[in-house]
Amino acid sequence: MIGEKSTIHHGVLVETKALNHDEQAILLADLQSIARVSPPFSLMTRWGKPMSVKMTAAGRFCWFSDRKGYRYIEEHPLTKSAFPPIPELALAVWRQFEADIDPDCCLINYYGKGARMGLHQDRDEANFDYPVVSISLGDPALFRIGGTERSDPTKSFWLESGDVMVLHKDKRLAFHGIDRIKFGESPLLSKGGRLNLTLRRVANA
């Protein structure tokens, strides 16, 4: 799982094609198994606006949003069951960047046609010393990254299937989001779309 090229985009490390085709297929099969027991669900912002991205998770925690605000939950909101274990291949990716402790949350976002993610910070975790490691599968996504203030300048670049990106150190609390995806461009997902895994540590060590 060594990328074809390591690049720094606006202070963010991207490992291009860190997962080869076979590894992407293996991870996709793992995610399909997770979705069967913890189906993706829709969220809304605390202002009552529906989000276009569907989500599920693996590990102890899943991020959640509704009119009560943003928080982590420990059971699926529909099935009321615990989330499945994080796939081993995803853990192996994480361990390349953080060897001291494993993630306790793997968010799984599905971007369908027209889906996007507005600028936001990942700041509901207990300790910001640990990275957020992102794995992209499926259609290309235009990722936007800024600074720690919403008004800071931003820069956008494309993430392709198999790419791994790391938000760490001074970029751990940077505002970021997805402007759009090129729906149907990748053959990995038979019905099109993008899956994004974000591995993180929610509880303190």
Give residue limits of the domains in the chain: 5-200
Which residue in this structure is represented by tokens 């970021």? Answer: 176
Least confident range of 39-53, 80-94, 185-199: 39-53
Residues with Cβ < 8 Å from 122, sequence gap 6 or more?
A: 132, 167, 172, 173, 198, 200
Q: Are 19 and 2 in contact (CB under 8 A)?
A: no
Kindly report the backbone phi and psi dihedral angles of residue 155, in degrees, each rounded to the nearest multiple of 5, phi listed first.
Answer: -140, 145
Q: What is the pLDDT of residues 148-197, one digit of tens each?
A: 999 999 999 999 999 999 999 999 999 999 999 999 999 999 999 999 99
The residue written with tokens 């009321």 in the block is 80
For residue 45, name the pLDDT band (cuts at 50, 70, 90): confident
CATH class of the domain defined by 5-200 = mainly beta
How many CA atoms are closer than 13 Å to the CA of 34, on its beta-carbon side? 29
pTM: 0.95
State the DSSP string of 122-170.
Answer: ---SS-TTS-EEEEEEES-EEEEE--SSTTS--EEEEE-TT-EEEE-GG
Please tell me the distance from the alpha carbon of residue 197 to that of residue 63, in angstroms, as a whole number: 12
Listed as own residue / partner, the contacts of 31-35 with beta carbons closer than 8 Å and 24 or more positions apart are 31/87, 31/108, 31/137, 31/195, 31/197, 33/84, 34/58, 34/83, 34/84, 34/87, 34/108, 35/108
User: How sure is the predictor about 1, in pLDDT bands with cuts at 50, 70 and 90?
Assistant: low
